[in-house]
Structure 1
Amino acid sequence: MSKSWTPYARHILDAIAKIIRIQERGTLEDEVLYAASLRHLQTLSEATQKLPESLKKEYPAIPWREISGFRNILVHNYLGDIDPLTIQGVIDLHLGPLAQAVQALLDQHPDPASTSHPS
Structure 2
Amino acid sequence: MSRTPQQRLQDILEAIDAIDRADVVLRAHDPGDEIALVALDAIQYRIMTIGEAVKALPPSLRNDHPDVPWSDIARMRDLIGHHYYRLDAQIVRATIQAPIAQLRATCQAALDAG
Name whichever structure is richer in helix by fraction. 2
Q: Contact conserved, 2:22 with 2:42, CA < 8 A, in 1?
A: yes
* TM superposition score normalised by structure 1: 0.82
Give matches, 1:85-100, under 5 Å.
85-100=90-105
Find the partner of 1:43 among 20, 39, 49: 49
Change (3 A) 1:12 1:3: closer
Aligned equivalent of 1:21: 21
2:59 partner amino acid: E
1:90, CA displacement in angstroms? 2.1
- In 2: Cα distance, 1:90 partner to 1:13 partner: 18
Give the unaligned 5+ runs of structure 2: none
Structure 2 SS opposite 1:62: coil
Residues 79-102 of structure 1: per-residue CA shift (max 9 Å, x gap) = x11101111112322111100011
Q: Contact conserved, 2:26 with 2:40, CA < 8 A, in 1?
A: no
* TM superposition score normalised by structure 2: 0.85
1:9 partner amino acid: L
2:6 partner amino acid: T
2:25 partner amino acid: R
CA RMSD across the alignment: 1.7
Runs of 4+ in structure 1 off by over 4 angstroms are none
Give matches, 1:1-119, under 5 Å.
4-27=4-27, 29=31, 30-78=36-84, 80-108=85-113, 110=114
1:72, CA displacement in angstroms? 1.2
How many pairs were matched up? 107
1:3, CA displacement in angstroms? 5.8
Give the unaligned 5+ runs of structure 1: 111-119
